[in-house]
Structure 1
Amino acid sequence: MSRAGAPITVMQLLVDPAVGPKSFNPYTTLLVGALDPSLVRTRYFRWKGLLTDDFDVLHVHWPEHFTRHRYGVVRVMKAVLLLVFLVRIRLQRKAIVRTAHNLRPHEKGTWIERRVLDCLDRCTTLWFVLNDATPVPAARKLLIQHGHYRDWYRMPRPGEQVPGRLLAFGLIRAYKGMDDLVSAFRDVPGDQWTLHLCGRAESSETVARLEQARAGDQRVRLDLRFVPDEELAQEIAQSEAVVLPYRDIHNSGVALLALSLNRPVIVRDAPATRLLEQEFGSEWVHRFTGDLDAQTLTASVFALRGSVRADEADMSGREWSVLAAEMTAGYRRALTLAGQR
């Protein structure tokens, strides 16, 4: 347990970014980098330190990533070991804080994974939510918004934007409805429109669906690989708007990245996107309802074109220094709650 006046030792349930570039995540890297080391000492989870590594608070982000593996026997072993870890935390009265990035894992896991995640939910001391629409117990809830990406990506330069260029990017998963977007775009008339879809596809089946949806339309560019940061910043800078056709949306780093780089977003209507529109305004966040078709897509773009918009989206409420101070206070609150449990 942290002594009075000493930094709180927080173990992030993340892979240490020092092990290689595949472990980097802009959100978590910016978050940890903003924490004051005189107040918070950061450690990263290690399987070999399951029973021995010392910490005061465990900070959980996407726990399902730590129970998954290509081999079933390894999945079972990892799930059992995480249960052992949770037992240790309970016995030692340590605090668990959980950032609720999603309402549920995007892909359905195994039955043992679900049991582990249910146990983790019951053990969680304090939930950090990225928006107020997240349904967690009010007494154990703290709003800490998603920070901006302006310290990570190159900002657009004047004259880079291409009129009629729409962009969708990020990890391409089934629930995101990218094939719906491509199909809708094919029905948009006119050569002045283009659609770029960038990001690694989750499976060969997803790639096949997108190719089938495109059906040879030369206005649609599919770049289905991991796109480096500099290339992604250029794609965003050249876009007129970023489209998120997700069938189910709660929090979106993609939306925050687009807004951080001063590009408006087209998103499906949902409680979380209503909050996003309230914060940034309809000139930056355009919501649509129903199925995404060519008429909805073009009407959304024309609505954004007709809006009066400042040169930059207001990110003053999402400065990492402010969020880091809120998070540090959250860690201390979780320690107090854990001691009362």
Structure 2
Amino acid sequence: MKVIAWPAFKTRYKNPYNWLLYSQMGQQGVTVEEFSPLKLLRQHYDIFHLHWAAETIVRHPNPTLAFIRAKAMLALIDRVRHQGTRIIWTFHDKIPHIVLHPQIADWFQSELVSRVDAYISMCEAGKTLAEETFPSLKQRLNSVVPHGHYRGEYPNQVDKISARKTLDIPEKARTIVFLGHISPYKNVPHLIRTFGELDDADLVLVVAGTPDLPELKTEVFEAADGDFRVRLSMQYVPPDNVQFYLKSADLVVLPFQEILNSGSAILALSFDCPILVPHKGALGELQALVGEAWVKTYSDELTSDILREGLDWAVHTPRANQAPLEMLDWSVLSQKTVQLYRAVFQ
């Protein structure tokens, strides 16, 4: 079987998700190539698998060019479907997080859904949301394929003491970490303000990642308001440095306002960090999968009481040395994906 995917491998150092998924498929007799329009036109592929299509297609700042790009992609999909290529779409989010032209994105996503032969959701909540948003998907083949782990993809050679030494965190400080791209929906300023309500001098909050917008960066610094316990690193964290932040943590907190699937939660668990997250989207299912010793959820908005209780839970709850992530192994998940590929030809 021959597959072309967008993206397939090129985002490995930004987000290894696709690379990890597709690099396993060769063992199952499946060849996967990176998408390009010319390649798709000149060669025959059994499957065209798309991710985050609306975000990527309509990202051009000029709305007219964004619309032309969208129309061109739909025309390309129509042509290869006529030639027998099956279209698979992975539903990551109801609404793309960053879209320059929402109306064009909504129109394009709706048109794309009308052309898919099957779709993948990453959790049962995602499947429900996808079919509520696009009722025609109820008539399509589908599979729930969870987000896989990142264990082994990032360097992980340091212990907690040396990680904290690198980041200048006191060895005995109780440390909360937020690591990841800082977007409005991730609610980072609220996390900092909530942390500020805790009066323990031996606490440290580390926030590391690139803000989406300059005004968001300003809001983060204003929320910290000179609190010496808050350590801010408002820049891209290279893959080699991820280990220092996550190995220094007693608890990773991800205070999302809205979320369906979270690579940040999976990344933290891949470094065997307990996480505190809202009971939204896939996160309740993640708790059921890996256990309440590793994932603590809360309802409504994060408060200082929830944060304090979460930190006590992280420090005092007995747990194994490693989070149980076997069901999130990429060999298992790529096999489930290939099973759906084959099903669309039956």
Q: What TM-score results when the alignment is normalised by the length of structure 1?
A: 0.89
Name the counterpart of 1:132: 124
In structure 1, what is the Cα distance between the partners aligned to 2:308 and 2:49?
Answer: 42
Structure 1 residues 48-78: Cα deviation after superposition (integer angstroms, max 9, x where no partner):
4453343111111110212211233331221
Name the counterpart of 1:3: none
Name the counterpart of 1:181: 191
Distance 1:302 1:205, change over 3 A: same
In structure 1, what is the Cα distance between the partners aligned to 2:157 and 2:303?
Answer: 29
> Which residue identity lines up with residue 250 of structure 1 in the other structure?
L
Is this contact kept in 2: 1:82–1:116, CA < 8 A? no
Is this contact kept in 2: 1:288–1:300, CA < 8 A? no
Q: Which moved more, 1:226-235 or 1:302-311?
A: 302-311
Q: What TM-score results when the alignment is normalised by the length of structure 2?
A: 0.88
Is this contact kept in 1: 2:251–2:311, CA < 8 A? yes
Q: What does 1:68-87 correspond to in 2, within 5 Å? A: 68-87=59-78
> Which residue identity lines up with residue 106 of structure 2 in the other structure?
R
Q: What does 1:239-318 correspond to in 2, within 5 Å? A: 239-318=249-328
Is this contact kept in 1: 2:86–2:344, CA < 8 A? yes
Q: Determine which of 226, 230, 233 is the counterpart of 1:220.
A: 230
Distance 1:44 1:271, change over 3 A: closer
Name the counterpart of 1:145: 146
What secondary structure sits across from 1:42 in the alignment? strand
Quick check: 1:12 aligned with 2:10? Answer: no
In structure 2, what is the Cα distance between the partners aligned to 1:173 and 1:324?
Answer: 29
Q: Which moved more, 1:170-179 or 1:85-94?
A: 85-94
Name the counterpart of 2:167: none
Name the counterpart of 1:89: 80
1:88 positional shift:
1.2
In structure 2, what is the Cα distance between the partners aligned to 1:144 and 1:264?
Answer: 23
1:113 positional shift:
2.4
Q: Which moved more, 1:86-95 or 1:190-199?
A: 86-95
Name the counterpart of 1:5: none
Q: Determine which of 82, 102, 109 is the counterpart of 1:117.
A: 109
Distance 1:16 1:307, change over 3 A: closer
Identical aligned residues as a percent: 26
In structure 1, what is the Cα distance between the partners aligned to 2:14 and 2:89?
Answer: 19
Name the counterpart of 1:40: 30
Between the two proteins, the alignment pairs up a number of residues equal to 326
Is this contact kept in 1: 2:12–2:19, CA < 8 A? no
1:301 positional shift:
1.2
TM-align CA RMSD: 2.1
Distance 1:90 1:327, change over 3 A: same
In structure 2, what is the Cα distance between the partners aligned to 1:291 and 1:197?
Answer: 19
Is this contact kept in 2: 1:16–1:23, CA < 8 A? no
Gaps in structure 1 of 5+ consecutive residues: 1-7, 337-341
Gaps in structure 2 of 5+ consecutive residues: 132-136, 165-170
In structure 1, what is the Cα distance between the partners aligned to 2:58 and 2:30?
Answer: 27
What secondary structure sits across from 2:106 in the alignment? helix
Is this contact kept in 2: 1:167–1:196, CA < 8 A? yes
1:16 positional shift:
5.4
1:89 positional shift:
3.1
Is this contact kept in 1: 2:176–2:252, CA < 8 A? yes
1:300 positional shift:
1.3
In structure 1, what is the Cα distance between the partners aligned to 2:64 and 2:27?
Answer: 39
